[in-house]
Amino acid sequence: MKELFIALGAALMNAGLQIKYIDLYKRQFENLEQDKEIVHNSFDFPAVLIELKVNWTSTAQGVQSGNCTVTLHIGQELYENTDYNSPESLNALANIFDLPQAIYLTLQGLTGLKFTGLVRTDDEPDVDYGNLNVHKLTFTTTITDAVKFNTSRFIKVGADLKLGKNITPDTVYPQPAVIPGT
């Protein structure tokens, strides 16, 4: 999961989206209801908070694979009126929807060594905390964790095998190897 978080952060920071704060999601925006000053002074906006949830299954010999849901909580300050009849509504709507769309374009298909390409599955304006608008953008991916992969049953290259005689990488065989089906 660490590789996924790092890849997401790097992709967002390198996309030129003017995102000022990226962190793990810890319900930071929900704290606005309790103390607006603390949250507004804790980080700058726009901010992207990354929530990761994995349902793991074991595959073989210590390798696990998991369906991962990545929810981005995108916080933006918004001072314009979104009322359709308001003269500032088009600008306000652009401020609400353009950044999530740009983030989608940046992250859709992003892949790494331990996770498959991200696929957007949900997109919703979430909550408006006065002048702070929060938008949730959700992706799915499959991640692999092979930390506990058992390599003790494999033979190290260059090791001597004891099969009645010593076999090394320099051993010459009298007949060429035959690949079945060729």
Query: Is residue 172 in some structural domain?
Result: no
pLDDT digits (tens, 9 = 90+) for 101-113: 999 999 999 999 9
Query: Is residue 47 in some structural domain?
Result: yes
Query: Is residue 84 in some structural domain?
Result: yes
pLDDT digits (tens, 9 = 90+) for 140-182: 999 998 877 655 555 556 555 444 444 444 444 444 444 444 4
Query: Is residue 156 in some structural domain?
Result: no
pTM here is: 0.76
Number of domains in the chain: 1
Host domain of residue 123: 2-145
Q: Which of 54, 50, 43 is nearest to 8 (CA)?
A: 50
User: Residue 87: which H helix or E strand, with range?
Assistant: none
Regarding beta strands 119-129 and 63-77, do their DSSP bridges make them parallel or antiparallel, or are they unpaired?
unpaired
Beta bridge partners of 134: 75, 127
Query: Is residue 132 in some structural domain?
Result: yes
- Cα gap 43→94, rounded to integer Å: 23
Instruction: Report which DSSP code applies to 168.
Output: -
- Cα gap 76→47, rounded to integer Å: 7
Query: Is residue 60 in some structural domain?
Result: yes
CATH number, domain of 77, equals 3.30.2000.10
